[in-house]
Structure 1
Amino acid sequence: MSVELLAAQDAEMFTTSLSSEEQRELARKLTTVLSQYRHFSDSYIIEFFTEDLWHTLPSTWQPVLQDLSYPQIADLLLDAAHGDRRYPTVWPLSLLAFRATAHALAFSRGCRRERGRVAGSVKPKEFQENQSQSSLLGHIFRKHVKPKKQHEILKLGRLVKKLCDQTDCNRVVDVGSGQGHLTRFLSFGLGLSVTAIEADPTLLAMASKFDRQLLWALEKEKQKKDFESPSQHQLKESEEQSSAESCCPCIKPVCQEGNHTKENSLRGYPDFVLTGLHACGDLSATLLRHFVSCPHVRGITSVACCYMKITTEENPTPPGLVEPPTPLTLGHESVPSEFGYPMSSWVRGLSEHQLSYKAREGACHAVEDYIRRLREESELLRIHCYRAMLENFIRDTRPDLRRAGIQTIKKAHLLPFTEYARMGLARVGLPPELPLDPERVESMLRQQGRVVVYFSLALLLAPVVETLVLLDRIIYLQENGVDSQLVALFDPNFSPRNFVLMALKPCEQGGQSPR
């Protein structure tokens, strides 16, 4: 059974399948379009006033966009599925082409079954009876788990189980396992043998605590119903001295004396399926490289997030790190450090493939959530305008202070701007009582609609950027002889990073070790 057929078995999934030629042609189109509209994806909305972003728009666009209502912005610009487009004025062809191209090039994010939900409902149908508890997940797997995560572990867990069934492999390695919610469901809910790898000691401690609670609950259940737990749950910390070597030495280096070959050093280890639920930044790329390089990894499901933390040639060090990433270690072989984007030779060879930090950060935004805010005309929409106004006043006093980080101000959208500014100025070390020209404040507040329009134009490109990042990974796998499938597995209204990249190695590439 092919990976495409496996995905098609689930009616809730939307699958995207392209030939290798179509993949490459789409990548070329994506890089060309993103290069042409780079001024949108690379712009910072907090600089709307300081950089006069509105007047960087084509002069023919400005009059038709400036008077749009918030629901019109949602319907006419952002919602690709909206069919009833009634334009208040005649739009220039260049604007229509921009919108149509962005929608046409991006992978569809919709889930078939979830499209039929009740109007106005945000959560999937499994939460209709109880807004905080999935009706499809057992109660022991819902404890300490937020609804979004319940939705994700249920759907991804079932997909991982299908991969295991198809490969006749019941072992799974869950990398970046966090508090272990997916691990517990795979192990105790679906009967798989799971090794969890997590680098954060705090998350690891919480996972161990929740494991003990689940085992206690299962023991009580056993006493009542003579219940027997289906498998043992292994939890391992991903540090230099602690690894998943018991599952496969490809995960961490194996130190052995003598001149053993790589094949000999790997002999006797069991095959397994690799999974990562919202593996941050370069971790998703690293897992794909392990999948390709290690003969014992039979299949993979990869859900990416935090694209802005991906390393690139232009930004080789992710935010928060002083040194570039260390080389990967696969068995005995040390592989030179490689960037998280691009992974494929094809995309790397395209002259306009570069994606800035801002473009990748924008690709993490929740388009569906913003559409909902626009249609509800939410007061939250004024936050972008507030922050852009504050940036203007900050630079009046400190021209060298650009894009200063301001921690979230609680319920800022409910505050008058003067109060918001007082709190924001204090957080960047400026006098809270800095005088603000009332006429200037009022003039900028009147431009809130323009701020929202410009942000929406940039947001229109967010799915296009995400498509390029994920397509690059699909092409990378194809270059290494592995077909893959991209599945919109989660409800995008509920889980914005809803794509799962899954792949199975051909039988001749898999390991021959016992289960």
Structure 2
Amino acid sequence: MDKHRDALKISIEMSLKVIQHHRWLMDLYVVDFFTENHWELLPLAWRECFCDIDPQTLGYIIRDLPTNHILPLSFLALMKVIKSLSFPRQSVNRVESNEKQSVIGSHPKLKNLFLKHVKLKKRHEISLMANVVHSVAVESCCDAVIDFGSGLGHLVRMLSYKYDLHTVGIEGQNQLTDEARKLDSELEYTAQKYVDAETMRKLNRPIHCNKTLNSPSQLEKLSFSISNHGLIGLHPCGDLGPLLLKYFVSCERSKFICLVGCCYMKLTCENGIGYPMSKYLQSLDYTLSYPSREIACHAIEVYCEKLCKGDYNDLKVHAFRAALERILVAHNPKLRHSPIRSVKHTENMTFENYCKIALERISLPGMDTSQAEADLSQWKRVIIVYTLRLLLAPLVETLILLDRLYYLTEHGIYCEIHPVFDPRVSPRNHVIIGRKI
């Protein structure tokens, strides 16, 4: 445990140094590209290298594909250190275990029953997450789990009916809970056509309940017909992830946790609430701005694939928004960062059409658009700067995850982390596993 904690500490310190040194880049809002002259903020060597580069080539560079460009040593060093410090994002293939699967779970005609009414992204996530949770539950000699933010109950449904675990799904929205119960009934209606009545009678059925959670003490007061249990958090939003970790640490009955983070920009960054959690990181200069936490939720793999395919014309919308921002601020400084209608770029969209849609609900007569043409001629530079920011996203996420891992070790809990989902399908793909041994 001590060696593991020391390794985490070194990783935290090194990641922080890189992040602190590049805050000037991470904290940029793409909308301010022209109003704050972001291009001139890049180091001179970077500007000279990237001024005429095609975004497709930059995509090749980030994916370590060969190009003819001679790159600045500072940029090469940054790419190397980000790669060495960030958690690997390539998903690890996990063989599905048939151990202790229920009659329904092992029935050949019912194998896809659990994926009905589930969107493709969610199918990918719940299938892999259920396999991970089941494996950890078996290792922990635990046959009960609680899923927080269970939504329509897809995950607990699979864990109950397929893996024969006792499950509780906690969801804040009544409508989702009601729909989850209907989906349970629909599953059983289909299953009873293939299995006998005695098997149906003995099924482990999910418990769905409504509860909005704000503190670990609330969780302690919840009463279910299960004692020792594991905790599940599949993309809990903002502070809910840290809340589950705190409950896990404090609750003797909780034997393991499987947690996948999400929405880091919504974390409360004070008093150890959301970030940082560990006392060690709290003792350092741990600051992560909202823009840096927000960009850590973006999919660098999908973005780079678009660049490498030359499929980046739709990214012109970033330049359109930045050009419009300059116009708005020049017209009235109070309009800075005004909430405007989101516009998806379409082929042959003009800036005039963009503005008409974006400002549909705002009447601003007399705006001077004379600067727009010159600004929009630099649309590739807008993409380049945004891409350079995105390069740091995996390291920011790594720091947040390292903080959570170190928090667990501070409480003597064994922990590990694995990239389980395909990052192109589910960008937040790391599962933190904590077990009380």
Q: Which of residues 354, 363, 379 in structure 2 aligns to 1:430? A: 363
Query: Relative to structure 1, is the Cα distance of residues 254 and 388 closer, same or farther in structure 2, using a 3 angstrom cutoff?
Result: closer
Q: Which of residues 101, 114, 120 in structure 1 aligns to 2:81? A: 101
For residues 269 and 203 of structure 1, the distance between their equivalents in structure 2, rounded to whole angstroms, comes to 23
| C-alpha contact 1:250 1:294 (8 A) present in aligned 2 | no
Deviation of the 1:151 alpha carbon: 0.8
For residues 397 and 66 of structure 1, the distance between their equivalents in structure 2, rounded to whole angstroms, comes to 29
Give the structure with the larger helix fraction.
2
What does residue 17 of structure 2 align with?
Answer: 32
Q: CA RMSD in A?
A: 2.8
What does residue 311 of structure 1 align with?
Answer: 268
For residues 374 and 385 of structure 1, the distance between their equivalents in structure 2, rounded to whole angstroms, comes to 16
Deviation of the 1:85 alpha carbon: 2.9
What does residue 387 of structure 1 align with?
Answer: 321
What does residue 192 of structure 2 align with?
Answer: 219
For residues 248 and 217 of structure 2, the distance between their equivalents in structure 1, rounded to whole angstroms, comes to 13
Q: How far does the alpha carbon of each residue in 1:104-149 deviate from its partner, in whole angstroms, 9 at most, with x for none?
A: 21111012459xxxxxxxxxxxxxxxxxxxx999322222211111
Q: Which of residues 269, 278, 291 in structure 1 aligns to 2:248? A: 291
Query: Relative to structure 1, is the Cα distance of residues 407 and 358 closer, same or farther in structure 2, using a 3 angstrom cutoff?
Result: same
Deviation of the 1:381 alpha carbon: 1.6
What does residue 301 of structure 1 align with?
Answer: 258
Query: Relative to structure 1, is the Cα distance of residues 195 and 33 closer, same or farther in structure 2, using a 3 angstrom cutoff?
Result: same
For residues 127 and 201 of structure 2, the distance between their equivalents in structure 1, rounded to whole angstroms, comes to 21
Query: Relative to structure 1, is the Cα distance of residues 432 and 483 closer, same or farther in structure 2, using a 3 angstrom cutoff?
Result: farther
1:200-349 aligned within 5 A: 200-222=173-195, 230-239=203-212, 251-253=219-221, 270-313=227-270, 338-349=272-283
1:126-205 aligned within 5 A: 138-205=111-178
Query: Relative to structure 1, is the Cα distance of residues 137 and 299 closer, same or farther in structure 2, using a 3 angstrom cutoff?
Result: farther
Whichever residue aligns with residue 356 of structure 2, its letter is R
Question: Which ranges in structure 1 are unaligned for 5 or more consecutive residues?
Answer: 3-16, 115-134, 256-265, 314-336, 507-515
Q: How far does the alpha carbon of each residue in 1:307-334 deviate from its partner, in whole angstroms, 9 at most, with x for none?
A: 0011012xxxxxxxxxxxxxxxxxxxxx
Q: Which of residues 384, 393, 400 in structure 2 aligns to 1:462? A: 393
Whichever residue aligns with residue 326 of structure 2, its letter is N
What does residue 489 of structure 1 align with?
Answer: 420
For residues 22 and 136 of structure 1, the distance between their equivalents in structure 2, rounded to whole angstroms, comes to 48
Aligned residues: 422
Corresponding residue SS for 1:109: coil
Whichever residue aligns with residue 275 of structure 1, its letter is I
Corresponding residue SS for 1:221: coil
Query: Relative to structure 1, is the Cα distance of residues 413 and 19 closer, same or farther in structure 2, using a 3 angstrom cutoff?
Result: farther
Whichever residue aligns with residue 165 of structure 1, its letter is V
Q: How far does the alpha carbon of each residue in 1:446-490 deviate from its partner, in whole angstroms, 9 at most, with x for none?
A: 211111110011101100100000000000000100120010000
Query: Relative to structure 1, is the Cα distance of residues 199 and 227 closer, same or farther in structure 2, using a 3 angstrom cutoff?
Result: closer
Whichever residue aligns with residue 256 of structure 2, its letter is G
| C-alpha contact 2:152 2:179 (8 A) present in aligned 1 | yes
Query: Relative to structure 1, is the Cα distance of residues 426 and 40 closer, same or farther in structure 2, using a 3 angstrom cutoff?
Result: same
Whichever residue aligns with residue 366 of structure 1, its letter is A
What does residue 408 of structure 2 align with?
Answer: 477
Q: Which of residues 322, 326, 337 in structure 2 aligns to 1:403? A: 337
For residues 271 and 227 of structure 1, the distance between their equivalents in structure 2, rounded to whole angstroms, comes to 25
**Are 2:356 and 1:375 equivalent residues in the alignment?**
no
What does residue 45 of structure 2 align with?
Answer: 60
Deviation of the 1:434 alpha carbon: 4.2
Query: Relative to structure 1, is the Cα distance of residues 393 and 202 closer, same or farther in structure 2, using a 3 angstrom cutoff?
Result: farther
What does residue 331 of structure 1 align with?
Answer: none
Query: Relative to structure 1, is the Cα distance of residues 453 and 239 closer, same or farther in structure 2, using a 3 angstrom cutoff?
Result: closer
What does residue 429 of structure 2 align with?
Answer: 498
Deviation of the 1:338 alpha carbon: 4.0
| C-alpha contact 1:487 1:500 (8 A) present in aligned 2 | yes
1:117-132 aligned within 5 A: none
TM-score by length of 1: 0.77
Deviation of the 1:58 alpha carbon: 1.0
Q: How far does the alpha carbon of each residue in 1:279-335 deviate from its partner, in whole angstroms, 9 at most, with x for none?
A: 11111101111111000000010011000011012xxxxxxxxxxxxxxxxxxxxxx
| C-alpha contact 2:171 2:211 (8 A) present in aligned 1 | yes
Deviation of the 1:373 alpha carbon: 1.1
Whichever residue aligns with residue 148 of structure 1, its letter is K
Deviation of the 1:195 alpha carbon: 0.5
For residues 312 and 489 of structure 1, the distance between their equivalents in structure 2, rounded to whole angstroms, comes to 27
For residues 327 and 149 of structure 2, the distance between their equivalents in structure 1, rounded to whole angstroms, comes to 41
Corresponding residue SS for 2:221: coil
Whichever residue aligns with residue 60 of structure 2, its letter is D
**Are 2:432 and 1:452 equivalent residues in the alignment?**
no
What does residue 318 of structure 1 align with?
Answer: none
Corresponding residue SS for 2:335: coil
Corresponding residue SS for 1:220: coil
Whichever residue aligns with residue 94 of structure 1, its letter is S
| C-alpha contact 2:331 2:367 (8 A) present in aligned 1 | no
Corresponding residue SS for 2:432: strand
State, as a whole percentage, how many aligned pairs show the same letter: 34
Deviation of the 1:408 alpha carbon: 2.4
Q: How far does the alpha carbon of each residue in 1:65-86 deviate from its partner, in whole angstroms, 9 at most, with x for none?
A: 122222211121x32xx3x433
For residues 242 and 333 of structure 2, the distance between their equivalents in structure 1, rounded to whole angstroms, comes to 39
Deviation of the 1:96 alpha carbon: 1.7
What does residue 326 of structure 1 align with?
Answer: none
Corresponding residue SS for 2:236: strand
Deviation of the 1:254 alpha carbon: 6.8
| C-alpha contact 1:250 1:290 (8 A) present in aligned 2 | no
Query: Relative to structure 1, is the Cα distance of residues 249 and 400 closer, same or farther in structure 2, using a 3 angstrom cutoff?
Result: closer
| C-alpha contact 1:187 1:231 (8 A) present in aligned 2 | yes
